[in-house]
Chains A and B, each alone.
Chain A
Amino acid sequence: MFHFMKDQIQAAKPSRRSFLKMSAAGVGGFILAASLPGASRKAFASEGDFAQPFVHIRPDNKVVVLIKHLDKGQGTATGLATLVADELDADAAQIETNFAPANVELYKNLAFGMQGTGGSTAMANSFLQYRTAGAAAKAMLVAAAARKWGVDAATITVSKGVVTSASGQSASFGDLAALAANEDVPAEPVLKTPDQWVYIGKSFPRVDVPAKSHGSVGLYGMDHQAENMLVAVLARPPRFGGVPTGFEAAKAREVKGVVDVVQVPSGVAVLATSTWPAIAARDLLEVTWDESGAETRSTDEMAKELADMTATKGISVPGSHGDAEAAIASAAKVIEVDYAFPFLAHAPMEPLDITVFFDGEKAEFWTGSQFQTIDQMVSSKILGLTPDKVTINTTWAGGSFGRRAQPDSHYFAEAALIAKARLEAGNAAQPIKVVWTREDDIRGGYYRPMVAHKAKVGFDDKGQVTGWSHRVAAKSIMQGTAFEQFAMKDGVDATTVEGIGELPYELPAFQTEVHNAKTPVPVLWWRSVGHTHTGFVAETMMDRLAKEAGEDPLDYRLKRIKNERLAGVLKLVAEKANWSTPLPEGRYRGIAAVESFGSYVAEVAEISFREDGTVKVEKVTCAVDCGLPINPDNIVAQVEGGVGYGLGAVLRNEITMTDGEVDQSNFDTYLPLRMTDMPKVEVHIVPSTEAPTGIGEPGTPPVGPAVANAIAAAKGEWVTVLPFSRHGYA
């Protein structure tokens, strides 16, 4: 997501002046912080000041790296710890991580200007910041050791967490922490040159794997426990846009453990002393709904509306060149291809959850917050507090795929409203955990938008393209949110058209138009956002164009490609997948390449067909260029997972509605990818010294079109209406 903000990463590099400031804090520990402009050293040390740091070294010799991003499985905590550990020359075993508190000044994403995680920006925006924090900490440890031993700092070396002088003295980081806290923060700590890196580009153990392999207590928001805590489960409107007008709760209140029933704008909450009674009692509520503003159409009707929109002229998307319409009008041959993409739920393994404690003066939340700044602002407003009175304890998240990155912070708002209503009704302040069941998650909206595309391409008599006119229709993700003013220009939402406003291939004339559809169904970014559909369209169209020209799909692309790095991954994947070698009988392959979020990924899918006609994806070979590979094994893991996530969706996922009500409710109707569906995935990383870019999302877009192209290689027909299960392929 936030592709549009990508360019700001470079522009937003922290200025040295305001960058690092040291402060003493804790007992005998020392802390390094990116400081508030003008903040004094004292300010950081004072009690109750939440302006906390990136690096904390404890007397017990542990180095705690403060993680400003949410880690929902993409490995960011490990990545940021790697940067600090390397510059600090720490031993991997002494590194721990903690999630940073909500503090926009200290912990903003330098690509967004607010604290938040998304758009595969975590490593890119932090690369210099976290290395600098590690380098400064090392310089201060060295200075402290020099002072203590009375030696020249230049004679001191640091390796694997041990500080040593030329004359033989040595000390651990923990030994020196208290002294180092008194040293000045170097204005310009010297960063290592790439040849000096010990972890970056090599390997660093994942910081979370041991805890996650032992079922450790309290890792996730869902696991939060507290004395006297209530659990809330809500009956939410059956149709999007509905609001509760009243309820009958006599039966619900009879369930042992139920404490209260509270109506809020998003639904009616049953509060109980534990989770099960709340779930059971929720089903006994009778709620009346005002559905005057609700979506009552079926998804078939919505799909038709979108398709109809693409038949008319829309808003021009920047990036057009040439006169595509004129070229098509005088073409020897014209093809017109309509695509239809369904709503998709993110369905992270951990359904949403959030715990709130509000006592009228201050509030505290525990959850996998992904947009801390917005979550803090929205909830503080509801609770009548200043943002500094709202503490957010970010937990590990059991997946997100975009779901927790909330422009409207709806799940924070809901929890805040419940807590506020309880307090206003005269109840004592109590922690309240709002738990979403899987049904609430699947039926809860914030879907990948439903999208229609229409591609109209003209050819000359040799099958060469003369012009391509394209239209997209979807509900905008940004419109109506706080991001609209930055993210929409002249009616064009970049997240709707990213990847199709301009193609990475040289074509004589090309233009795209967009229509913004309206529906009360809330939509959101879903792992790789617009590229989930634009990548599919662009890369299946490229195969069609190659066929019209009578050329090999790989050669066709390479001959016209404008971007060297995209060409690089295409060539690499072709070589690794033996593109030019014929396949055994019954096997077919397809290729696709998509640039997203500044990273380049090409994939070759090799498929066969089962006896029942369904597709078995045997193997996906991937080539990845995400700049400097900080942690190669994590890149491989993210691409493996990204391929699986994208494949599961194109095979058989769709949210459909009948008269506005969602037809799916759980994993028995919204069928997840399983072990038996998982292809072999082989990932090849392009060695690079370019600035690092993200990898959480870019593995996802190419898999759908690669498989669709493989199906077309077998059957001569491209799937244009998703998912594949609609055509008997899954």
Chain B
Amino acid sequence: MSVSVTINGTSRIIDADPETPLLWVIRDELGMTGTKFGCGVAQCGACTVHQDGIPIRSCQTSLQDAEGTSITTIEGVSGKAADAVRSAWEELSVAQCGYCQSGQILAATALLSETPKPTDEDIDAAMDGNVCRCATYARIRQAIHVAAEKMEA
């Protein structure tokens, strides 16, 4: 059975079991490995993508639930907030192992798109679902503030 989804602006017809989690469609069927598998049970956020601009967990979203929507992954995320986030991430060398960082960047981009000047409490609320086993949290927080400044400039 085939399902139609827009991925990073390109509409794709995907021939896979509609129950397949979007995560595995993106990674295995489309070969885009930036979206990560961390837990598979909505606990870590490594698999975060945007669905119509809202951050979702692709391990918990079936292909069928994504039908007709627009999905953005780390490979495709762009715009003012995403650019500011990436540049802050690089400036502060946020990544250690980096495995969680696709998810962190997508979560941070969604936060800044909604709330361009987030407080520490806003950051806690938006980012608490994204686990980093290297514990880069202090830099993630700082980088979000830096990105917010960059967006203002």
Contacts and interface: CB of A to CB of B under 8 A. Distances in A.
B96 A75 contact: yes
Interface residues of B, number: 55
B90 to A, nearest CB: 5
A639 B27 CA distance: 33
Contacts of B139: 637, 640
B146 interface: no
Contacts of B132: 349
B74 A399 contact: no
- Of the candidates B93, B129, B139, the one having the most CB atoms from chain A within 10 angstroms of its own CB is B93
17 contacts: A210-B90, A213-B86, A213-B98, A214-B86, A215-B102, A216-B34, A217-B33, A223-B33, A349-B38, A350-B38, A396-B97, A633-B93, A642-B135, A643-B135, A675-B140, A678-B135, A678-B138
Contacts of B28: 231, 274-276
B101 to A, nearest CB: 5
B133 interface: yes
B39 A666 contact: yes
Contact of A640 (B44, B105, B136): B136
- Of the candidates A75, A397, A674, the one having the most CB atoms from chain B within 10 angstroms of its own CB is A674
Contacts of A401: 133
Interface string B82-125: 00001001100111111111100100000000000000000110
A676 B140 CA distance: 12
A552 to B, nearest CB: 29
A644 B97 CA distance: 14
Contact of B90 (A209, A397, A633): A209
A675 B141 contact: yes
B-side interface mostly: loop
A669 to B, nearest CB: 9
A645 B134 contact: yes
B141 A209 contact: no
A681 B124 contact: no
B127 interface: yes
A676 B128 CA distance: 6
Contacts of B36: 222, 349-350, 398
Interface string A417-446: 000000000000000000001100000000
A216 B34 CA distance: 6
A72 interface: yes
A674 B27 CA distance: 26
A144 to B, nearest CB: 35
Given A437-B40, A668-B43, A350 B135 contact: no
B93 A675 contact: no
Contacts of B134: 73, 349, 399, 641, 644-645
Nearest to B23: A276
A399 B73 CA distance: 22
Given A209-B89, A678-B135, A678-B138, A438 B40 contact: yes
A640 B96 CA distance: 11
Contact of A350 (B24, B74, B99, B140): B99
A225 interface: yes
A674 B46 CA distance: 13
Given A438-B38, A640-B136, A675-B128, A73 B98 contact: yes
A215 B131 contact: no
Nearest to B95: A212
Contact of A275 (B27, B35, B137): B27
Given A276-B21, A672-B133, A675-B140, A667 B39 contact: yes
Contacts of A275: 24, 27-28, 37
Interface string A47-91: 000000000000000000000000011110000000000000000
Interface of B: 17, 20-21, 24, 27-29, 31-41, 43-44, 46, 73-75, 86, 89-90, 93-102, 105, 123-124, 127-141
A314 interface: no
Contacts of A399: 96-97, 99, 133-134
Contacts of A75: 96
A246 interface: no
Contacts of A350: 36, 38, 97, 99
B59 to A, nearest CB: 10
B90 A398 contact: no
Contact of A667 (B41, B89, B96): B41
A616 to B, nearest CB: 12
- Of the candidates B36, B95, B134, the one having the most CB atoms from chain A within 10 angstroms of its own CB is B134
A206 B97 contact: no
A648 interface: yes
B75 A214 contact: yes
A622 B21 CA distance: 43
A11 to B, nearest CB: 31
Contacts of A72: 97
- Of the candidates B20, B31, B123, the one having the most CB atoms from chain A within 10 angstroms of its own CB is B20
B26 to A, nearest CB: 10
A520 interface: no
Contacts of A349: 36, 38, 44, 46, 97, 99-100, 131-134
Contact of A225 (B33, B35, B95, B136): B33
Contacts of A681: 138
B135 A213 contact: no
Contacts of A211: 98
A458 to B, nearest CB: 40
A613 interface: no
A220 interface: yes
Contacts of B96: 73-75, 399, 637-638, 641
Given A217-B32, A276-B24, 11 more contacts: A73-B97, A206-B95, A209-B89, A210-B90, A218-B33, A225-B33, A256-B17, A348-B99, A348-B133, A349-B97, A438-B39
